Amino acid sequence: MLHLKNDDPAVAKLIHKEQTRIEGTLDLIAAENHAPCSIREALGSVFTTKTIEGYPGKRYHAGCGHADEVERLAILRCRSLFGAEHVNVQPHSGTSANLAVYFSVLNVGDRVLSMTLSHGGHLSHGHQASITGKCFEVKNYGVKKESGRIDYQAVADMAQTFRPAMLIAGASSYPRLIDYEKMSEIARSVSAYFLVDMAHIGGLVAANVIPSPVPHADFVTFTCYKTMMGGRGGVILCRQKFAEKIDKAVFPGCQGTSPVNTIAAKAVIFKLAGTPAYKQVQARTLENAAHLAEALQKKGLRIISNGTDTHQVLVDVTPRGLDGGRAEQVLESAGIVLNQNVLPDDEGRKGAVSGIRIGTAGLSTRGMGTKEMELIADWLDRIMANHLDDGVIQDVRREVADLCCQFPVYGTEE
Which residues contribute to the site for ligand DSN (CB under 6 A)?
31, 122, 172
- Look up residue 49 and give its DSSP letter: G
Kindly give, in sequence order, each residue whose CB lies less than 8 Å from that of residue 402, ignoring residues fewer than 6 positions away.
Answer: none
| CA–CA distance, 397 with 401 (Å, rounded to integer) | 6
Instruction: Report the nearest approach of ligand DSN to the CB of residue 377 (Å).
Output: 22
Give counts: helices (H), strands (E), the chain: 16, 15
Instruction: Report the nearest approach of ligand DSN to the CB of residue 43 (Å).
Output: 17
Nearer to ligand DSN, 15 or 123 (CB): 123
Per the CB < 8 A criterion, the answer to whether 354 and 314 are in contact is no
Per the CB < 8 A criterion, the answer to whether 235 and 88 are in contact is yes
Length of the chain, in residues: 414
Amino acid found at 263:
I
Strand, helix or coil at 379?
helix
Strand, helix or coil at 17?
helix
| CA–CA distance, 120 with 176 (Å, rounded to integer) | 10
Instruction: Report the nearest approach of ligand DSN to the CB of residue 12 (Å).
Output: 27
Which of 290, 299, 404, 413 lies closest to 358, judged by CA?
Answer: 290
Instruction: Point out which residues pair with 386 in neighbouring strands.
Output: none
Instruction: Report the nearest approach of ligand DSN to the CB of residue 132 (Å).
Output: 13
Nearer to ligand DSN, 121 or 259 (CB): 121
Instruction: Report the nearest approach of ligand DSN to the CB of residue 363 (Å).
Output: 17
Nearer to ligand DSN, 213 or 233 (CB): 233
| CA–CA distance, 357 with 80 (Å, rounded to integer) | 32
Nearer to ligand DSN, 94 or 259 (CB): 94
Instruction: Report the nearest approach of ligand DSN to the CB of residue 322 (Å).
Output: 20
Nearer to ligand DSN, 122 or 176 (CB): 122
Instruction: Report the nearest approach of ligand DSN to the CB of residue 223 (Å).
Output: 6
Per the CB < 8 A criterion, the answer to whether 88 and 250 are in contact is yes
355-359 and 58-59 strand pairing: unpaired
Nearer to ligand DSN, 357 or 366 (CB): 357
Per the CB < 8 A criterion, the answer to whether 390 and 9 are in contact is no
Q: How many CB atoms lie within 10 A of CB 6?
A: 9
Nearer to ligand DSN, 25 or 184 (CB): 25
| CA–CA distance, 183 with 195 (Å, rounded to integer) | 10
Nearer to ligand DSN, 204 or 295 (CB): 204
Per the CB < 8 A criterion, the answer to whether 361 and 228 are in contact is no
Instruction: Report the nearest approach of ligand DSN to the CB of residue 316 (Å).
Output: 18
Nearer to ligand DSN, 122 or 366 (CB): 122
Q: How many CB atoms lie within 10 A of CB 413?
A: 11
Instruction: Report the nearest approach of ligand DSN to the CB of residue 94 (Å).
Output: 6
